[in-house]
Amino acid sequence: MTQLLLNALIAGSVYALVSVSLALTYKLFKYLNFAHGQSMMIGAYLFYFFTVQLGWGAIFSIFPTIFLIFLLAYLFLRLFVKPFLNYGSSITFIASIALAVLIESIISIFFGSNIKSLILTNNVINLSNALITPIQILTIISTFVILGLLIYFIYKSSLGRKISALSENSLAAQGLGINSRSINYLVSVIAMAITGYAGILVSYDVNMSPTMGSSFLIKAFAIMLISGFGNIWAVVISSYLLAIIENYAVGLNLISMGYLDAFTFVIILFVLLVRPQGIFYKKERLI
């Protein structure tokens, strides 16, 4: 049982990184980014390119990876989000689907469709009869740090309050002198950087492929639904809740590992039937 709880903590940490960053963009732009999962793949493959193919090492590969993520976040915002927002969230969502297919195709062309990995060592640490690797420990600790900083940034900083104002009423916030353009870019960069980092963690822990983002995108959509598209705290709690349900369902042989994504869809349907507004929905709080 300890191993199942530890596995849920690891999976929940990755889910939280992906879902929280998706929640940030949703609250600001009011659309679900179907290409969000591909941000994981971009981070993983950029890091793989610099560390493995160029042999720069993990430390020196961080900086060009971050720079390219920032650049791509800006380009995606300018080319695939901003031009379509005025036409409604549905059109923007369709544009994000096109972007997702485009990114996946480009990665497959340049890196191939075979599974790759960044696994460095097979060292395993025994914690009270529960096994964990160093990268999994890093995943848990770094996620807590990132989520803590992000929550402080959103709820305590003046910039975070500006983001909240824009998410509630963009026109009114801009009328008060808030620069929406710079904040939109900042949120896009933060969201893509967090998701890209999650992709690097997954590629070190398991493996990576051009389709790696699709599964995590499904999880993120389920978590957003469970949280009621609510505040950051609700998304974090929902991330770990979904991970616990999944891991205990597999660990207790209630479902097979191969049907895990299908099980997530069952959860989505259940929430839609029982409480379509989400478990943690609060009408008065938008972020």
Domains contained in the chain, CATH given: 2-274 (1.10.3470)
Q: Extract the tokens encoding 251.
A: 């660990």
Q: Which residue has the higher pLDDT, 122 or 191?
A: 191
pLDDT band at 120 (very low <50, low <70, confident <90, very high): low
pLDDT band at 264 (very low <50, low <70, confident <90, very high): confident
**Measured between alpha carbons, how far is 199 from 212 in angstroms, rounded to an integer?**
8
Task: Please state whether the predicted TM-score (pTM) of the whole model is above 0.75.
Answer: yes
What is the percent of the chain with per-residue pLDDT over 90, rounded to a whole number?
A: 33
Mean pLDDT of 118-143: 84
Mean pLDDT (the chain) is: 86
**Measured between alpha carbons, how far is 43 from 69 in angstroms, rounded to an integer?**
7
The pLDDT score that the predictor gives to residue 287 is: 46
- pLDDT > 60? residue 284: no
Most confident stretch, 92-106, 112-126, 260-274: 92-106
Task: List CB contacts of 22: < 8 A, sequence separation 6 or more.
Answer: 32, 33, 36, 191, 195, 220, 224
Mean pLDDT of 62-69: 92
